[in-house]
Structure 1
Amino acid sequence: MKVVGVTQFGGPEALAVHEIEDVHAGSGSVRIAVQAFAVNPTDTGVRAGERDSSAQSAPYVPGMDAAGVIDEVGPDVEGWSVGDQVMAMALPLTGHGGAYVEHLVAPVGSFTRIPRSTSIEEASTVPMNGLTAIQLLELAGLERGQTLAVTGAAGLLGNYVVQLATAAGITVIADSSEKDEALVHSLGADHVVPRGDGFADAVRAIVPEGVDALADCAVQRDVVVPALRDGGVFLDVRGWKGNGAEGIRFEQVFVFHEYRSFDKLEHLRHAVEGGTIVPRVAEVLPASRATEAHERLEAGGTRGRFVLTW
């Protein structure tokens, strides 16, 4: 089968299409004929060799989001049939493997049906980013009426965080550049403030005592910690353990722990069907243009996800 990966870690130009031995569904799993896979920032780290690859051999295959059609059902699997359209989370650099593949073996729990009235390409943007947003909000532990600040609100993860938090009755203060203000307002944020070094001051102008939690989707870290109240929660998506600021609880979001979080995938499916969250595709490209997708992602400014198809 074809995969997109690297034999030597490096820049976007290291990506290429490779032929490897096909895979098949084993006990408790299905095989998905992948039709679309999303390109996420975490994929660039796999490509560049910034993740532990000791459990795998080349080619090293990135990708945590896929959507397609089940074409094999393994033993001891109930409730799933050949022909079901599904979206799945994948785990690159593990025995399960990344999503940039023609066939993905997925254990039950790591996938669910695509939302009604949603394309395969749109569905491929939901699992990993959606599960990250859910885990983030669970760690925040906010109740209706409490306040959440969000950096990187115009990015896809930020989109999902703002939309899910707003649906839960949380007051959201989101950042935005001038060109993205209409988009961020459309997500339902209660307040939109300029992104950048003045973010914490702008948040404090709205909530003088500071917010209850801060989702740092843009990895601003030290610059935005002062937006939190004493006892507030800082949520980091890249493993940062904090700067030791007194009275702040620092939490790290690790979406890998959600690999078989079927109930949460179902929550995301219903959230899309109900319009609570809106998948956003920047552009659909053939898998052979993965290098271009990575180059454009790393250049910044993309809204939504590039989606690659076979």
Structure 2
Amino acid sequence: MPNLREGYALPGAYFLVESSAAYGRHMRAVIIQEYGGPEVLRVAEVPIPEPGPGQVRVRVAAAAVNPVDVQTRTGALARAGLLPPRETIGIGWDLSGTIDAVGPHVTAFAVGERVVALSDRLALPVKAQAEYAVLDTDAVGRLPADADPVAAATLPLNALTAAQALDLAGLRPGQTLLVTGAAGAVGGFAVELAARSGLRVVAVAARRDEIFVREAGASHLVARGTEPAVGVREIVPHGVDAVIDAASLGVAALDAVRGGGTFVAVLGAAPVPLRGIRVANVWIRADGPRLTALAAAGLRLRVADTMPLERVADAHRRLEKGGVRGRLVLEID
């Protein structure tokens, strides 16, 4: 591994150093240089990036920790062919903060605006978990004046995934949607957004989460551990019109869908499209205007706990242990 005290060139003209004294303006950023357990996470000093044409730089206030960060750190994304070889990989997708610089030709945003954003490019050497982040303007949404930046940092990845999954489901008001993993981050947003759009929602969740999913808008609960198709068809004998499979139940959830319905896989585990069922995968993409709308929608945002950036490894350990309700958020001074 290169000697970080000497520094070395990285893709995108980044340069890691141990001390910022001799190299001008630097910032802290969470990176990895090898795959493994939480101990491979580093809070390194890197140059503060400059925005290019069509980009803004955000002074990050808070950044959420998501399962995809764990999958990046362990090498699961690389083994799946989603992450090309890199000497240094930045960590983090969700952030909130304030624009502190704009690149050439940017007119949609101004310095001082409060924003929420999704860093959806996988192979960057610096991503959301950093003091500053550079993003394309189409990945950035505005925050309402009264929005809590810590809570807002839990929104981008999971709410956008839920909204884009609902787009793929293509249902009309009055139709029936099954959401698996309905008490989770993506599932919770999917239930709330679906109910608001006039859909009848059947939720798969643990009994202890029944109050949560019903308050989110679910009409019916199928207890986790029950055979999904059996439980669903006791409520909707002909099957639901579509499912958003946030829990990756696969074929077990497929059998709850009526013939000719729609199955939306959230984590890529799409089953064979039996009985004329249309199967689709939701692959998240940044969408600044949609983020602006979601941030203003008054959705329920769940913060499990907050930690300083330096405790990112502890956040990973807690997430891997399981049982976290809501998102762990790194607060960045």
Which interval holds the TM-score relative to the shorter structure?
over 0.9
Contact 2:31/2:126 (8 A) holds in 1? no
- 3-state SS of paired residue (1:246): helix
Aligned to 1:306: 328
Aligned length: 302
- 3-state SS of paired residue (1:57): coil
**Match for 1:287 among 309, 315, 319?**
309
Aligned residue runs from structure 1 range 76-115, under 5 A: 76-95=105-124, 97-115=126-144
Residue 293 of structure 2 corresponds to residue 271 of structure 1: no
Aligned residue runs from structure 1 range 182-193, under 5 A: 182-193=211-222
Contact 2:90/2:124 (8 A) holds in 1? no
Aligned residue runs from structure 1 range 13-52, under 5 A: 13-51=39-77, 52=82
Contact 2:141/2:290 (8 A) holds in 1? no
Q: Distance in 2 between the 1:149 and 1:262 partners?
A: 27
Structure-1-length-normalised TM-score = 0.93
Q: Which structure is larger by alpha-carbon Rg, 1 or 2?
A: 2
- 3-state SS of paired residue (1:26): coil
Aligned to 1:216: 245
Contact 1:174/1:184 (8 A) holds in 2? yes
In the TM superposition, what whole-angstrom CA distance separates every residue of 1:33-70 from its partner, at most 9, and x where no partner exists? 11110111111111111224326431x12211111111
Aligned residue runs from structure 1 range 146-157, under 5 A: 146-157=175-186
Task: Compare 43-52 and 81-90 and name the one that shifted more.
Answer: 43-52
Aligned to 2:98: 69
Task: Compare 110-119 and 288-297 and name the one that shifted more.
Answer: 110-119
- 3-state SS of paired residue (2:90): coil
Contact 2:30/2:126 (8 A) holds in 1? no
In the TM superposition, what whole-angstrom CA distance separates every residue of 1:106-129 from its partner, at most 9, and x where no partner exists? 111111112342211111111111
Aligned to 2:28: 2
Contact 1:219/1:237 (8 A) holds in 2? yes
**2:302 aligned partner, one-letter code:** R
Q: Which runs of 4+ in 1 moved over 6 A?
A: none
In the TM superposition, what whole-angstrom CA distance separates every residue of 1:86-137 from its partner, at most 9, and x where no partner exists? 1000024335852111111011111111234221111111111111111100
Residue 152 of structure 2 corresponds to residue 123 of structure 1: yes
Q: Distance in 2 between the 1:300 and 1:220 partners?
A: 18
Aligned to 1:239: 268
Contact 1:73/1:81 (8 A) holds in 2? yes
- 3-state SS of paired residue (1:202): helix
Task: Compare 47-56 and 115-124 and name the one that shifted more.
Answer: 47-56
Contact 1:131/1:265 (8 A) holds in 2? yes
Q: How well do the aligned residues superpose, as a CA RMSD in angstroms?
A: 1.6
- 3-state SS of paired residue (1:224): helix
**Match for 1:57 among 87, 106, 124?**
87
- 3-state SS of paired residue (2:198): coil
Q: Kindly tell me: are residues 96 and 2 of structure 1, through their superposed partners in 2, closer, same or farther at Cα, counting changes over 3 Å?
A: closer
Q: Unmatched 5+ residue regions in structure 2?
A: 1-26
Distance apart, 1:207 and its partner CA: 0.3
Contact 2:63/2:331 (8 A) holds in 1? yes
Distance apart, 1:263 and its partner CA: 2.5
